[in-house]
Structure 1
Amino acid sequence: ESDSHSASKRTFEKVVNSGKELLKLLFSSKRELREVEEEEDLVLKSEE
Structure 2
Amino acid sequence: MKYLLPVHWMSRLFRYRENNCRRIVNYAVISRTITSSVQENVLSEDFN
Equivalent pairs, count: 46
Cα separation, 2, equivalents of 1:16 and 1:2:
21
Unaligned runs of 5+ in 1: none
Cα separation, 2, equivalents of 1:40 and 1:21:
28
Q: Taking structure 2 as the reference length, what is the TM-score of the superposition?
A: 0.88
1:26 offset after TM fit, Å? 0.7
In the other structure, the counterpart of 1:36 is 38
Q: Superposition pairs for residues 11-30 of structure 1, below 5 Å?
A: 11-30=13-32
In the other structure, the counterpart of 1:10 is 12
Q: Percent identity?
A: 13
Q: Which has the higher helix share?
A: 1
Unaligned runs of 5+ in 2: none
Backbone CA RMSD of aligned residues: 0.7
Cα separation, 2, equivalents of 1:4 and 1:29:
37
In the other structure, the counterpart of 1:45 is 47
